[in-house]
Structure 1
Amino acid sequence: MARKQSDYLASLLAEEATAASQSAISADAPIASAQAKSEEASAPVTTPQADAPAPSPAPRASARAGLSLLGRENALARVASGEVRQVTQLLLDPARVRVWEGNARIQSKLSEESCRDLIDSILAEGGQRVAAVVRHISGDPDHDYELIAGSRRHFAISWLRAHSYPDMRLLAQVADLDDESAFRLADIENRARKDISDIERARNYADAIQRHYGGRAVRMAERLKLSKGWLSKMLKAATIPDTILIAFADLHELTLNPAYRLAQAIDDPVRAKAIRREAEAIAAENIKALSSGALALPGSAALARLMAATGSPGRPREQGFAFDVNNAHGRPILSLKSVNRQGLTLHVPMASGAGDEQLADALRQVLATLRDNGISVV
């Protein structure tokens, strides 16, 4: 996590530490004072002999108590300043922790497969290493805490408890946060994670702007320390309905800029209907392909088909029909730049790492996508 984000995250929990510090100071002061008086009253009294040199005076008990109190105050001040932080961490039964409704992650997408790397890591390390963030709740007989950040950790521990590891516990940091602070904390953690899609975050922002910021994007951008233009794109991308998103077998393949263009395209009601029909057709093809053991249509190809869909019958538009074929790491290895009557314009990026066979497969994928859209190069 970048230092700027780390500092921002630390500031969200600073109020809790400050409150603890003030409480501790007010509670310790009378105890230290009483202790000082007791030590002073019980100190032995001695009279020096005439011939003996006068001993150096012993330090007063009250002075020792004052120094003790000063040291305690200095320690608490360091906690409050953030130099040292007191953190309450507990091992919890995940069944007693409910997921906060403001969480960005789509919970239905969590599965053994999507969390397999984390499950294996927890088993290899003998437990969870990074704490989730929770807060106390009341009035719910089934739950004691609410999960602010750490959905995958919560799922992984729950899964392990149900599959031969009943003693596993959720390691959690307890924070005192209101809803807006909880949203900001969860958001800054999510920014450092690649396994939350831009669409998930966009929808989370769209919900939060009404819930916490009165619909004011400028206020939200200030609080989250985000660019207003970037936030505007996220809020626009959040308007893409599920009836169109079903075209993407993996939502992570629909990143912000393409999602923004798609959201703009469906502002036209006629075109929106055509895009919706195309999305349904792609989703049906993906289901058929996956059931037969084949791969679903890549996100870039699905986007190209959606953007090419129009409300007019006949041949899909060729102008603007472009997409990338990416490798396993999301980097393009072949790009279709344009289609016109003279032919195709293809781009092969330098240093993509793709071999001859991968490039040949990418070209076959481009040609197949064009044929599926009624465009033939033969």
Structure 2
Amino acid sequence: MARKQSDYLAALLSEEEEAPTAVVAPGAGAEPERIERAERARGTTLLGRESALARVASGEVRQVTQLLLDPARVRPWSGNARSYAHLSEESCRELIESIVAENGQKVPAIVRRIEGDPTYDYEVIAGTRRHWAISWLRAHSYPDMQFVAQVAQLDDEAAFRIADIENRARKDVSDLERARNYADAMKLHYGNHLTRMAERLKLSKGWLSKMLKVAAIPDAVVAAFASPADVQLKPAYTLAQALDDKDKAPAIRKEAARLAREQAARREAMRPALPAADVLRALLAAPEAEQEKPVMHSIPHKGSGRPVASLQSQNRQGLTLRLHAGSGATFEETVNAVRELLAQLESEGRGLRA
């Protein structure tokens, strides 16, 4: 039960004990006015007690259950935008120190009971970081630390809204994580109706539409950034729009693959990652840079070294290949050269399916 509700009910129920219980008869010298006040107080107490119990029964005042749980019996809810796997001692350091200083978790998490799982009894709807911090503390010198949770009866849509409200104020939940969480929720809870979802979450349709657009950025492009957290809404929306252009998308994907390789090489060499602004600039400039490059794709004959097949031009209608005379290639070698050229273009995102 929440503390205010608990105090309110306790105060009402305790008034009966505080009111006078002995009534002195008038013949024994008691003052009639005092007797009347005592009777009135007793009657008021009984009415107050009945009123309090009636309000609990009707649901106007709701009793809330808080439990002390073993975090090992509680799992994160998969519908939450926060990535539990990416939480760490470093990212939760301030919270861990606060729990230790206060001798326990003071703000309860919100959980709901689950059935049919022999490993877990509850799942965390809001309070994922608190769950991670308590679990870490139990494994590091605080084995008696318990997870404080408030149990609620929630369907998935209500659980999603509660988790979303908590995550909006968290800086460590990236725009991309929230965007993809919204995209999943729109399918699962709102029948792909953007207006309905915006109304339920109290968000503008325009802003939600941008988030859903960002959610569609493929992982291969996200890999160009040092971290998914670098994919911020405003610049990422511009990138998502560019990826919708079939003429620009192949060059962007090709540049993203190159940048992803460079980021990996930098991590391996313990060098600083490419800044997000530089990555975004390179991705958006890739289509123009690609157009300025001369067409150089060709497959030479292994014997003469002369070109057998080459790419002459490419546009949204398709590819134009040139088969060169005088290369010395046989019919079978020419067919294989065309296949090799098409495979090379496909690997660069410039094939017929691009």
TM bucket by the smaller chain? Answer: 0.5 to 0.7
Alignment of 1:308-319 (within 5 A): 308-310=285-287, 313=290, 315=292
Length-normalised TM-score, structure 1: 0.64
Deviation per CA, 1:319-361: give whole Å up to 9, x if none.
xxxxxxxxxxxxxxxxxxxxxxxxxxxxxxxxxxxxxxxxxxx
1:269 counterpart SS class: coil
1:304/1:215 Cα in 2 relative to 1: closer, same or farther (>3 Å)? same
1:223/1:90 Cα in 2 relative to 1: closer, same or farther (>3 Å)? same
Letter in 1 for 2:164: D
Is this contact kept in 2: 1:236–1:263, CA < 8 A? yes
2:115 counterpart SS class: coil
Measured on the aligned residues, the alpha-carbon RMSD in Å equals 3.9
Letter in 2 for 1:302: V
Alignment of 1:55-134 (within 5 A): 55=32, 58=35, 66-72=43-49, 87-134=64-111
1:275/1:139 Cα in 2 relative to 1: closer, same or farther (>3 Å)? same
Where does the alignment leave 5 or more consecutive residues of structure 1 unmatched?
A: 1-12, 30-34, 36-41, 317-378
Aligned to 2:267: 290
Aligned to 2:172: 195
Pairwise CA distance, 1:281: 1.9
2:162 corresponds to 1:169: no
1:272/1:44 Cα in 2 relative to 1: closer, same or farther (>3 Å)? same
1:60/1:95 Cα in 2 relative to 1: closer, same or farther (>3 Å)? same
Aligned to 2:317: none
2:223 corresponds to 1:265: no
1:103 counterpart SS class: coil
Pairwise CA distance, 1:82: 12
Aligned to 2:185: 208
Is this contact kept in 2: 1:198–1:256, CA < 8 A? yes
Deviation per CA, 1:165-215: give whole Å up to 9, x if none.
222221222222221111111111111111111111111111111111111
Q: Report % sequence identity.
A: 61
Where does the alignment leave 5 or more consecutive residues of structure 2 unmatched?
A: 294-354
1:260/1:307 Cα in 2 relative to 1: closer, same or farther (>3 Å)? same
1:247 counterpart SS class: coil
Q: Which moved more, 1:231-240 or 1:272-281?
A: 272-281
Larger Rg: 2
Aligned to 2:281: 304
1:80/1:44 Cα in 2 relative to 1: closer, same or farther (>3 Å)? closer
1:91 counterpart SS class: strand
Deviation per CA, 1:129-166: give whole Å up to 9, x if none.
33221112222221111100122221122122222322
**2:225 alignment partner, one of 229, 248, 263:** 248
Deviation per CA, 1:88-143: give whole Å up to 9, x if none.
32221111111112101122222233323323333343332332211122222211
Letter in 2 for 1:162: A
1:58/1:145 Cα in 2 relative to 1: closer, same or farther (>3 Å)? same
1:287/1:120 Cα in 2 relative to 1: closer, same or farther (>3 Å)? farther
Is this contact kept in 1: 2:239–2:284, CA < 8 A? yes
Question: How far apart in 2 are the matches of 1:89 and 1:243?
Answer: 44
1:310 counterpart SS class: helix
Pairwise CA distance, 1:57: 8.8
Q: Which moved more, 1:117-126 or 1:195-204?
A: 117-126
Letter in 1 for 2:131: H
Question: How far apart in 1 are the matches of 2:156 and 2:41?
Answer: 45
Residue-pair matches, total = 282
**1:233 alignment partner, one of 210, 216, 225:** 210
Letter in 2 for 1:281: R
Pairwise CA distance, 1:47: 8.7
1:119/1:225 Cα in 2 relative to 1: closer, same or farther (>3 Å)? same
Length-normalised TM-score, structure 2: 0.68
Question: How far apart in 1 are the matches of 2:124 and 2:107?
Answer: 14
2:225 corresponds to 1:218: no
Letter in 2 for 1:283: A
Question: How far apart in 1 are the matches of 2:204 and 2:88?
Answer: 33
1:77/1:227 Cα in 2 relative to 1: closer, same or farther (>3 Å)? farther
**1:145 alignment partner, one of 122, 130, 145:** 122
Pairwise CA distance, 1:251: 2.4
1:304/1:172 Cα in 2 relative to 1: closer, same or farther (>3 Å)? same
Question: How far apart in 1 are the matches of 2:55 and 2:31?
Answer: 41
1:164/1:53 Cα in 2 relative to 1: closer, same or farther (>3 Å)? closer
